[in-house]
């Protein structure tokens, strides 16, 4: 890949998707795009770039390029202290004195293949089944169509569920009838409380319909520069109802940011009434 082709791709990836792509990632980008060159029967990155940025390429290839270059690392019950804080503090606070029916709305932004969405659904179900007047719904969004397809399918290899407690596995997971496949699927009732759609956090506004009680956007901002991180958090805040919470990843810092949310823990922020 020539420097010109790399700069063209990296600039577009950064501007359109917020993903930092410095010179040090050139080899990584080459390796990841090799499969797209093979799929399109192309012999050079120059040829690929010309196609990608053509009208046809922008329509048909761009989604595949994004799927290829994005990092999709996720697990069930990743960073478990967040789910403890959600159960012990956030959910009781949200439901206190609700005086009747309430649906807790949660958004997993950057949900990848869905493990975080279904973890949230399990946690919310365990909490709300004790409160007859309270329901829940979890929305998952991601920029990668291939990851969203996996999330909707909700089928995972058995080795992916090690961090799910056994009693929750028995309650929410279905084993494949073909034991040789060694896969599980999230049960239908839990899947019915979720929805998924494509969303780019670099968009000027976020096309999700609800004001959410809780937003999880964890281990996504680490791929953005500081200015983009701040802009994304403030746009997420616009989708939080007053009193709602935003959870960030434990490796993400908000120091020296002008935010419209108030930190309550190092990676948990709250939208107060005057914000």
Give the per-residue pLDDT at 245.
Answer: 94
Angle between helices 26-39 and 45-52 (to 10 degrees): 80
User: Rounded CA gap, 116 and 260, in Å?
Assistant: 25
Q: Nearest-CA neighbor of 215 among 199, 191, 192?
A: 199
Count of C-beta atoms within a 10 Å radius of residue 130: 8
The 10s digit of each residue's pLDDT in 251-268 is 777 766 677 788 888 899
Residues in the chain: 275
**Residue 84 CB contacts under 8 Å (≥ 6 apart), including other chains:** none
Residue whose entry in the numeric block shows the structure tokens 């020539």: 2
pLDDT(139) > 70: yes
User: Rounded CA gap, 108 and 112, in Å?
Assistant: 9
**Residue 210 CB contacts under 8 Å (≥ 6 apart), including other chains:** 105, 107, 139, 239
Q: How does DSSP classify residue 163? A: T
The 10s digit of each residue's pLDDT in 21-64 is 888 888 888 888 988 999 899 999 999 999 999 998 888 888 88
User: Rounded CA gap, 96 and 88, in Å?
Assistant: 13
């Amino acid at each position: 890949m020539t420097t010109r082709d790399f700069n063209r791709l990296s600039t577009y990836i950064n501007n359109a998707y917020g993903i930092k792509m410095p010179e040090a990632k050139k080899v990584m980008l080459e390796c990841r795009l090799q499969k797209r060159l093979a799929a399109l029967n192309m012999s050079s990155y120059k040829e690929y770039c010309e196609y990608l940025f053509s009208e046809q390429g922008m329509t048909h290839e761009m989604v595949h390029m994004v799927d290829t270059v994005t990092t999709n690392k996720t697990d069930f019950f990743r960073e478990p202290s967040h789910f403890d804080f959600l159960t012990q503090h956030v959910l009781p606070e949200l439901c206190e004195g609700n005086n009747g029916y309430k649906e807790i709305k949660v958004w997993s932004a950057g949900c990848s293949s869905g493990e975080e969405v279904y973890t949230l659904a399990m946690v919310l179900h365990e909490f709300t089944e004790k409160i007859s007047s309270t329901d829940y719904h979890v929305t998952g969004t991601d920029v990668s169509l291939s990851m969203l397809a996996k999330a909707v399918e909700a089928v995972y290899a058995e080795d992916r569920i090690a961090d799910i407690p056994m009693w929750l596995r028995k309650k929410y997971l279905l084993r494949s009838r073909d034991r040789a496949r060694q896969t599980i699927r999230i049960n239908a009732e839990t899947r019915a409380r979720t929805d998924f759609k494509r969303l780019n956090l670099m968009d000027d506004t976020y096309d999700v319909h609800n004001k959410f009680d809780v937003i999880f956007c964890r281990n996504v901002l680490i791929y953005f520069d500081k200015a983009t991180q701040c802009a994304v958090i403030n746009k997420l805040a616009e989708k939080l109802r007053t009193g709602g919470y935003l959870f960030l990843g434990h490796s993400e810092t908000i120091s020296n940011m002008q935010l419209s949310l108030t930190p309550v823990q190092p990676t948990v922020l709250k939208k107060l009434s005057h914000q």
